[in-house]
Structure 1
């Protein structure tokens, strides 16, 4: 999922460089949403691992 966020971020930066405002803002919005979903899933996974404890 982080890969998708980075992909849309790169698309947004390239589109902004060439002046395609609509594509850049759409790609940046998608990248931002995917990034926050990734961060939320990461935090949930860390909390679950802390609660469950270490397994050998």
Structure 2
């Protein structure tokens, strides 16, 4: 079983997260930033990350 992080809050990311919920190989899906539509999907957990705060 895999855990997957989806980065992005738009419709495309929602579609990716939705499709991942249909996979038997994925047990947990993390999304950042919060995606309101994805809140209704099973296996979804929101992660509060600042994707613009990183060191190169």
Bin of the TM-score, shorter chain as denominator length: 0.3 to 0.5
Indicate the structure with greater helix content: 1
Indicate the structure with greater strand content: 2
TM-score by length of 1: 0.33
Larger radius of gyration between Structure 1 and Structure 2:
1
TM-score by length of 2: 0.33
